A and B are shown apart, each in its own frame.
Chain A
Amino acid sequence: MRDTLHFRLGSEDRILRDVDPTMTVLEYLRGPERLCGTKEGCAEGDCGACTVVLVDRQGRHQAVNACVLFVPALDGRQLLTVEHLAAADGTLHPVQQAMVDRHGSQCGFCTPGFVMSLFALRTEAKPDRAAVNEALAGNLCRCTGYRPIVDAALAVCTGEVTQAPVTLPVAEGTLSLGHGGKRSFSPRSADELSQVLLDHPDAVIVAGGTDVGLWVTKQHRSLPVTVSLDAVSDMAGVEEREGVIRIGAGATYQEALPLLERHYPDFGAMIRRIGSRQIRNRGTIGGNIANASPIGDTPPALLALDASVVLRLGEVRRSVKLDDFFTGYRRTLLQPGEFIERIDVPVPEPGEMFRCYKVSKRFDQDISAVCAAFRLRLDDGRVRDIRIGFGGMAATPVRARSVEAALIDRPWTEATVQMAQAVMDGALSPLSDMRASAGYRRTVARNLLLKCFLETGQEGAVSRLVPA
């Protein structure tokens, strides 16, 4: 095993040893490097003041939150911060100059994060306003009201910057960092991962770390052994094979998005609202399932779509329906040493319809109060088949089986919906908290069934807001 971390910081290669593997990249930058342009605004990946860009060998530029990124993720990559953009003679980078020219900074504290998000966005296709919103949803500004920043984005992101492969420091062998009683592993394959987990069944898996990062930065927990999925190359893929979308548990939201969106546009639209671009560049659907939060955004849709997870313990694999995977509040079927290797999502059958809805206080980058997903097939105006998944309505993501049963074989009409809404009231038991009251959650859940009906059973009904 290799105990040295190899990466490039700006244009300089770095080799680190004896570093705390749960030190965040933000701590590293502001601490030993004294590169203080990258700011801490929240330490939970919600404000974007810490946004930096990771570049991989293909030249992909990914904006990420340095505040919840553990340093092993830097291995074999280039890390770019706001200090690295200007030319050696001090000439500002075009995105920096655009921000100056458009009056895009006031207090300036969020500005480095915006600059880095724009720097990454500039390597993509020319964005429209919606794409700018999507790219900047994870950068909060309290001063400007965003208008000048959007103007800068539209002016400077012209789609003309192409990404070329880059030569990065060679980082061969499996990385394992150790420091002060903590150790991390970055296995290179699923086989290696399964062995590490057999050896360390208590290890915490870091599958992106957009939730686990907060255990350290917010709950101030010490994680003695962590295992990163960053280098597990055979769990990063997303492919369609024999009518199934196979999502490696290490695939990020951003990587899973295109294929899911092609088959299920509503699912795609919802994924675009999970966290922010910075979070989706790191966070994984596997992690979203494994942490078993009752308000995770993908499980309701995956439940409705009858997804399965492939679990692996050593050499033993088992495929489990997601229906059966959640066993209680933040509890799952996973045994010590076992991990999710893959998520299987069936592609739609002919005539199948899918709708999913996320309701939250803020449209972008918020945690849902209620999430609902519906997969249904009609036959001659009757409900032939329906599966309903809910988030935020119980201790785990749940299927509304009694509601499904009440709908099957009934005519798909408003009267049927009303009857099913009454069933729903008895079937779900949401909580009241800072996101929503139980009463609101119940009302919304009822109304979302109606909305699904309007969208699938009534020609031309307008039931969605038009983005402004």
Chain B
Amino acid sequence: MNAIAPVGVSVPHDSAPKHVSGQALYIDDMPEPAGLLHAYLGLSPHAHAVIKSIDLSAVLAVPGVAAVMTAKDVPGVNDVGPAFMGDPIFADRLVEYHGQSIFVVAATSMALAREAAAKAVIEYEILPAVLTIDEALAAQTFVLPTQVMQRGDADSALAASPLRLDGRIDVGGQEHFYLEGQVAMAIPGEDGDMLVHSSTQHPTEVQHLVARALKLSDHSVVCETRRMGGGFGGKESQASLIAVAAALLAQKTGRPVKHRLDRDDDMILTGKRHHCRIDYDVGFDRDGRIRGITFMQAIGCGYSPDLSGAIADRAMFHADNAYYLDHVRIVSYRCKTNTVSNTAFRGFGGPQGMMGIEHVVDEIARYLRIDPLTVRKRNFYGKRDRNVTPYHMTVEDNVISEVVAELERDAGYAARRKEVAAFNTEHPWVKRGLALTPVKFGISFTLTHMNQAGALVHVYTDGSVALNHGGTEMGQGLYLKVAQIVAAEFGIALDRVKITATTTAKVPNTSPTAASSGTDLNGKAAQVAARAIRQRMAGVAAIAFGVPASAVVFAGGRVSGGGKDMSFGEAAKLAHRARVSLSSTGYYSTPKIHYDSTVHQGRPFYYFAYGAALSEVEVDTLTGEYRLRRVDILHDAGQSLNPAIDLGQVEGGFVQGMGWLTTEELWWDDKGHLRTHAPSTYKIPACGDVPAAFNVSLFKAGRNKEDVVYRSKAVGEPPLMLGIAVFQALRDAVAACGDGWTVPRFDAPATAERVLMAIETLRAGIAVPRAQAAD
């Protein structure tokens, strides 16, 4: 990689050669320090119970066990709640979900620690458990207060609407299934200091929570993260417990401690995407235009708040998706159940909100017997009018009509709609379905203060550059994109920029790498730092060249002006001899955004990302099995910093979204035990689930209207929701088993079982329960 690699070029992932040769180090691969101990958590076997007594003497007696710890052994605060308290490191009196940690063991091997942990004697008094959203609603158990977002007068609009439908859809949760499970290694230092290597999207939070639990100042703890083997939101808040438990044991024993969850424990004790129930009441006209709508969003949070407040908020923010809702009220319940505490997952509540409105629009179209795409387009946000969201933000950068029109044309929607209809006429046992769905996704942390980032750039006197910032690398290519930006500022080759591990010792008080914001925030911060150094270097070079600083050019690895030039390294040396600093921090905070969460009004998002997907499925109507035959996607990544990386996010996001809504089923038994806790029972998409006809393009006209770095757009989360097109196409195929329009309610994920049961309902001629329109 010696060529100059400016932004906008498809450079391969910086770690790709290391990935393919096994040289990329994940935490479990790092050289093990002498005396290393391995941690293992003791978990609750009950969903809800009072702990009567804990006897760990048999655990401690196992040869090779160095320490055990429970709640009473925590020197500081026994809680790793990220925003609110309520996530005990070790359950003290009460256990509130099956799999909750009660104690931790350190031993000379993981196998030994696990074996020892099984010898714990704990007495419980079992309590009744609330396991489902419906039970939580009935019992009125919530982790956070109920919220209402509204604009206009939904009740009057509903009453005055020519037509009206109501209904419900339940949407299942999703396991992150990052291939690298949760892991951390804590290494004690002098003065009681603690170095923690953590597979986390939020090193600062791990640092702060380790300090709080160990009763140390923040400056005594360093958290370092070189790379994660996938995160997807699952390592935003929930990496903390793993790291804190390791650090507690390291502090207690004075020895380094590694803590890696095996796959089953990882799936049992860490949170997932929130499952939800959405009830709706919609009024509309004969063209399918929505006049008024109310949503009840009941979000399954599990036993504690974790990040559920912001996640449920984002479900409300995306209850509109790309559609203008004239009079709207959204009531959001944050339900408490005796299950694992659900957490961030790519889309962060947005996907759930969108599933609600996409279901509503599809139901309206099917009621009116109009092609669903037509009804979708009729309800899109306008450019100059019909452009205010339910949270009173004006949509200023709307390109959804252009994106959908281009996809509809290029993917041949109209012709394929006819082909599908013809196929279905001729085939009684196999049916096809088609759906084109849009995505509009708001970019920014909705908690305004989190929209800030820092970076640290050093130029050495040989002209090599070291780059550090607060963003973490989980495979999304953030490190590479930021390095491209810095290389471009200095006009040097990409390989002259050393990417270094994220560490709280270099850039403090960072936000998590989340909300798709990694590049927007850290790219800008790094650009600010690089520019500061460049300006100083330009000042020195300007004197040497005898030109004004503004005439000094950094390009092609050279610094030039006034017909003279020197290498970037020579310019760095010159600056050093002139006693000019070659190091700078950079800082960035997102402009324009503000939000009043008491009334749910403001501008929570700097801008929106857009996309659309057209999916075609084929269903075996005797078994409910299905195949995705083809998918076409057009996605707006603005002016892409690295099209290959962005394409990878779009493709991977779509497939992950498809998995969420199709084969990925979390199944709890009646005792609240998760029974799908490994890939043998929890089925993420495999290679063969992705069709050969997988046509993905970036929207060429895309350009961020706002001043985001190089006019790019965030691309981490938005594509996930393109997977909704698969769910809607399955509805279309099911309808083809009946009158072509009616679909009995089936929930997500659309397992083969759910699809077949819907088809059987149609075939049996059982009346589909649905509200009649108030005509």
Residues of A within 8 A of B (CB): 30, 34-44, 46-47, 49, 81-83, 85-86, 92, 95-97, 99-101, 103-112, 115, 129, 132-134, 136-137, 139-150, 218, 220, 357, 359-367, 369, 433-437, 439-440, 443-444, 447-448, 450-451, 454, 461-468
Q: Counting CB contacts under 8 A, is B215 at the interface?
A: no
Binds A, one of B12-20, B159-167, B332-340, B574-582: B12-20
Binds A, one of B298-306, B320-328, B353-361, B647-655: B647-655
A137 nearest CB neighbor, chain B only: B686
A433 nearest CB neighbor, chain B only: B675
Provide the main secondary structure of the chain A interface.
loop
Contact, CB under 8 Å: B16 / A100: yes
B642 nearest CB neighbor, chain A only: A103
CA distance A462 to B21 in the complex (A): 46
Q: Counting CB contacts under 8 A, is B690 at the interface?
A: yes
Q: Give 5 A-B contacts (CB < 8 Å), ordered by A residue.
A: A36-B22, A41-B179, A145-B694, A220-B111, A359-B623
Given A133-B687, A145-B654, A436-B753, CB of A109 within 8 Å of CB of B626: no
Contacts of B684 on A, CB cut-off 8 Å? 140, 142
Contact, CB under 8 Å: B680 / A142: no
Which of B630, B644, B678 is A44 in contact with, Cβ under 8 Å? B678
CA distance A42 to B264 in the complex (A): 8
Contact, CB under 8 Å: A465 / B618: yes
B17, B29, B622, B630 interface centre (most CB from chain A within 10 Å)? B622
Contact, CB under 8 Å: B475 / A108: yes
Contact, CB under 8 Å: B179 / A100: no
Q: Counting CB contacts under 8 A, is B429 at the interface?
A: yes
Contact, CB under 8 Å: A43 / B229: no
A383 vs chain B, min Cβ distance (A)? 20
Residues of B within 8 A of A (CB): 10, 12-13, 15-26, 28-29, 31, 111, 114-115, 176-181, 227-232, 262-264, 427, 429-430, 474-477, 618-620, 622-630, 644-645, 647-648, 651-656, 663, 665, 667, 675-676, 678-681, 683-694, 696, 751-753, 756-757, 760
A53 vs chain B, min Cβ distance (A)? 13
Contact, CB under 8 Å: A137 / B667: no
B232 nearest CB neighbor, chain A only: A142
Contact, CB under 8 Å: A362 / B663: yes
Contact, CB under 8 Å: B686 / A365: yes
CA distance A456 to B533 in the complex (A): 77
CA distance A135 to B641 in the complex (A): 34
Which of A36, A136, A450, A466 is B687 in contact with, Cβ under 8 Å? A136
B15 vs chain A, min Cβ distance (A)? 6
Contact, CB under 8 Å: A434 / B667: yes
Q: Using a Cβ cutoff of 8 Å, how many contacts connect chains A and B?
A: 273
Contact, CB under 8 Å: B620 / A465: yes
Contact, CB under 8 Å: A467 / B688: yes
Given A144-B652, A463-B430, CB of A105 within 8 Å of CB of B688: no
Contacts of B630 on A, CB cut-off 8 Å? 468
B632 vs chain A, min Cβ distance (A)? 13
Contacts of B228 on A, CB cut-off 8 Å? 107
Contacts of A142 on B, CB cut-off 8 Å? 176-179, 230, 232, 652, 656, 684
B592 vs chain A, min Cβ distance (A)? 31
CA distance A462 to B29 in the complex (A): 51
Contacts of B625 on A, CB cut-off 8 Å? 359, 363, 465
CA distance A448 to B525 in the complex (A): 61
CA distance A95 to B690 in the complex (A): 21
Contacts of A37 on B, CB cut-off 8 Å? 21-23, 29
A275 nearest CB neighbor, chain B only: B680
CA distance A448 to B621 in the complex (A): 11
Contact, CB under 8 Å: B628 / A451: no
Given A108-B229, A144-B651, A434-B676, CB of A465 within 8 Å of CB of B627: yes
B644 nearest CB neighbor, chain A only: A103
Excluding A145-B685, A439-B757, 7 further A-B contacts by CB distance (< 8 Å) are: A39-B179, A43-B262, A83-B22, A100-B20, A106-B652, A107-B228, A363-B688
